[in-house]
Structure 1
Amino acid sequence: MTTTSPRRVLITGLNGYIAAHTAAVFLQAGYVVRGTVRRARTPNVESVVRALKPYHDGNRLEVVEVPDMGTDGAFDHAMKGVQAVAHLASPVSMTETDAAPMMRAAVQGTTSLLASALAESNRSSPLRSVVFMSTISAIFSPGRPAGHVFTEADWNDAAEAEMQRLGRKTPGYVVYQASKTAAERAFWRFADESRPRFGMVALCPAPVLGPPLYLPTPVSSLSMRVRDIYNILSGGPVPAFDSPVRSTFVDVRDVAELVLRAVEQDLLRAKSVAGAPDPVQIQGGEREDSGYTRERYLLVGQSGVSPQAMAEVLREGFHELRNVIRQAGESGDATTLEGLAATWGFSSNKAGRLLGREWTGFRQSVLESARAVLQAGRE
């Protein structure tokens, strides 16, 4: 009797918040996960390897070092023999004001990976799917008129222009938005120019929340929304509601599941496209009738939320900490900008159809995130 070898997926930035959950989902689905890290012998990499042990039988997690993902050929070795790639590694900083390093790392990391994927696919490899983790910040642009509903067809056309105008005075969050937008544009430009014979999907999640698989060192490197919970539970100020993007959220487990669903959609579709013509040019990330996936998804599990709502959920859910958790607006540390949140809308119907179930709700995500953070603090 013959046995079928498990499929292998490459996940970049394995020790990242979303990547760790994505690895768990693929391991549970029976895949071999090959995860890239900059250096293998670090506390955070050791922590994520331990956290993933319950999700596999002990021999389906591979860790490979990619010290500088922006160099040519950085992913050549890691790419060998994989059926799918989830490119989740990206420089993330909301305080960095020197745009050049972040822009270079985000764009060159993406183009380097795609070049390795193209070379591997040209060698008749099993590679059939590349999923790129973008962000809602590559979609949202404040120049849209009131009442506009953002979808996958929209692009942030303001961040890069603002960065060029302000130079070294550019706020960190604008640098982040510009780098992610530039990286996703490079992703789709590669699709247009190289016409690879594998599916390409970009996921654009809202600010992500949900219980981390492990607490990183230092704790300040937690993802933005989970760090907010950690700080609020510690008696810190409730963050100001200073952007309409803060009125949206998606749970990390939903994001991870959508990576898997995007990959499996590609792998299933690949079975029927042997000998298909080269992909034609995409239009706004939509799939053309070429047999190869070209899709862009906006991921918003719930809108109309805020840091203030997060604080209220925590006060209601953890009565023993009510004297520690500040009330929203206390000491002038938070401002509710209801008009800002109501100006625009966000539609994630397309991603919802791919997910195939209800999105995880904000209250559930907040409470489960808080429990995970508190439990980790006791260990």
Structure 2
Amino acid sequence: MASQRRVLITGINGYIAAHTAATFLKAGYTVRGTVRARTPNVESLVRALDKYHDGNRLELVEVPDISANGAFDRVVEGVQAVAHLASPVSMAETDPEPMMRASVQGTTSLLASALAESKREPRQNTLKSVVFMSTVSAVFSVSKPAGHVFTEADWNDAAEEEVRRLGKNTPGYVIYQASKTAAERAFWKFGKETAAEFSMTALCPAPVLGPPLYLPDPISSLSMRVKDIYDILHGGPIPEFSPIRSTFIDVRDTAELVLRAVERDSQTPRARERYLLVGELPISPQGMADVLRASFPERQDKIREGHPGETYPDMTWRFDASRAGMLLGRDWAGFQQSVVDSAKVFLAAETA
């Protein structure tokens, strides 16, 4: 039963991870989460999660450096599933080496601890599932020909090549794409080389939108695409269109898919699955402004109009997320719902 199972969620105070913790708590699981330190934001998360459990099913553990050898040895003890959502992110860095190293070593360090734990526990209580949160950026690349349909079989080779070419002058967003791609490659390499008995799943979500479970302080540390909604709602400029901004997935769908993957893995020994997560598309930053102006007419004097209904250059690429849709088992949350629900959280906080 779910109530007898414990899941480890790394980086539990992150945007997606916080929703993932709530989803597991609602399903009856005991949740152990890692944080770098007990900060005021972590305390805000704890308060937000309190409504989803009876007071004794949430445990936080400090792991200051996820890339250190043995960093997860103790925190994996007694868990039956791991959701690895912790990931170094900095769009301001131009030297790729620190982030690439931390991302890859954080993943392999966790897997090594998970492997040891899976061999230690009694069979009926063993660790059976490790879910890795990758990104659509590990799948999508503009180098693909027009008309290409992206699936789980695709990899972004271009970002890693850009890192090698540009070295310490690499833009932050390229470093992020390359580091996540390298970490996912390391994830699959580990599974192949060790023949780990636990099942392994990688989820590759599009840019994630939807209401934060709690608001971080400062608000500038909001997850990047959600901050687009916040900024537009408060009169900020409408971001430029880009191919990656034409896709999205709701944070609640993403969290539920982590749960679905873990529950499937518990019944499917040694499974190896990769899922591309893309909901409604195409969407755009202009679409955010259109939705916000229509849904909150009292703020029309603040929200920039831009070019209502503007259509962007035809997206020649497509995305096949049907496998993830089948795992979810219902329709994806829509773009309008994600934008409106996000804005409601921001506005409620301002009037509290």
Corresponding residue number in structure 2 for 1:265: 264
Per-residue deviation, 1:80: 0.1
- 1:39 and 2:12 equivalent? no
Q: Secondary structure at the match of 1:269?
A: coil
- Map Cα deviations across residues 114-153 of structure 1 (whole Å, 9 max, x no partner): 0000111111351000000000000001111100010100
- Alpha-carbon distance between aligned partners in 1 of 2:142 and 2:48, rounded to the nearest angstrom: 39
C-alpha change, 1:310 and 1:184, in structure 2 (3 Å) is: same
Amino acid at match of 2:29: Y
Preserved contact between residue 7 and residue 31 of structure 2 (Cα < 8 Å): yes
Change (3 A) 1:347 1:118: same
- The 3-state SS of whatever aligns with 1:313 is helix
TM-fit CA distance, 1:329: 4.9
Measured in 1, the distance between the counterparts of 2:191 and 2:72 equals 18
Query: What is aligned with 1:316?
Result: 294
Q: CA deviation at 1:5?
A: 5.9
Tell me the equivalent position of 2:187. 187
Deviation at 1:109, TM superposition (A): 0.4
Deviations 1:307-365 (A, max 9, x none): 000110000000010000001259xxxxx7722x5120011000000000000000011
**Residue matched to 1:53:** 50
Report the equivalent of 1:282.
Answer: none
1:281 is matched with which residue? none
Q: Distance in 1 between matches of 2:278 and 2:312?
A: 18
2:85 maps to which residue? 88
- Structure-2-length-normalised TM-score: 0.96
Aligned counterparts of 1:235 and 1:305: Cα–Cα separation in 2: 20
Q: Please give the per-residue CA displacement for 1:55-96, whole angstroms capped at 9, x wherever unaligned.
A: 000100000011101001000110000000000000122232
How far has the Cα of 1:378 moved from its partner?
2.4
TM-score (norm. length: structure 1): 0.90
User: Can you list the C-alpha shifts for 1:217-241, whole angstroms capped at 9, x where unaligned?
Assistant: 1111101121011111111100011
Aligned Cα RMSD in Å?
Answer: 1.6
| Aligned equivalents of 2:45, 2:130: Cα separation in 1 | 23
Tell me the secondary structure at the aligned position of residue 274 of structure 2: strand
Distance between the aligned counterparts of 2:341 and 2:207, measured in 1? 16
Equivalent position to 2:320, from 344, 347, 350: 347
* C-alpha contact 1:303 1:346 (8 A) present in aligned 2: no
Runs of 4+ with deviation above 4 angstroms: none
In the TM superposition, what is the alpha-carbon distance from 1:373 to its structure 2 partner? 1.2
Shift of 1:154: 0.2
Deviations 1:188-235, CA, capped at 9 Å, x for gaps: 000110110100000000000000010011111101121011111111
Is this contact kept in 1: 2:8–2:33, CA < 8 A? yes
Q: Which amino acid letter does the alignment assign opposite residue 322 of structure 2? A: N
Q: Aligned residue for 2:115?
A: 118
Aligned residue in 1 for 2:312: 338
How far apart in 1 are the matches of 2:2 and 2:114?
24
Alpha carbons of 1:68 and 1:337: their partners in 2 closer, same or farther (altered >3 Å)? farther
Q: Percent identity?
A: 69
- Give the whole-Å Cα distance in 2 for the aligned partners of 1:312 and 1:262: 35
Alpha carbons 1:238, 1:329 under 8 Å: kept: no
Structure 2: segments with no counterpart, 5+ residues: none
Paired residues of 1:146 and 1:343 also in contact (CA < 8 A)? yes
What is the count of residue pairs matched by the alignment?
349
- 1:165, CA displacement in angstroms? 0.9
For the 8 Å contact 2:128–2:197, the answer to whether it is kept is yes
Tell whether the 8 Å contact from 2:3 to 2:28 is kept in structure 1 after alignment: no
Q: Given residue 253 of structure 2, which amino acid in structure 1 is its aligned partner?
A: D
Q: Distance in 2 between matches of 1:377 and 1:109?
A: 37
SS of the aligned residue for 2:235 comes to: coil
The 2-side partners of 1:170 and 1:364 are apart by 35
Are 1:365 and 2:341 counterparts?
Answer: no
State the AA in 2 paired with 1:33.
Answer: V
2:3/2:29 contact within 8 Å kept? no
What does residue 28 of structure 2 align with?
30
| Alignment pair present for 1:12 and 2:15 | no
Counterpart position of 1:287 = none
* Separation in structure 1 between the aligned mates of residue 106 and residue 295 of structure 2, nearest angstrom: 41
Which amino acid letter does the alignment assign opposite residue 312 of structure 2? E
**8 Å CA contact 1:71, 1:112 repeated in 2:** yes
**CA distance 1:208–1:5, change in 2 (3 Å):** closer
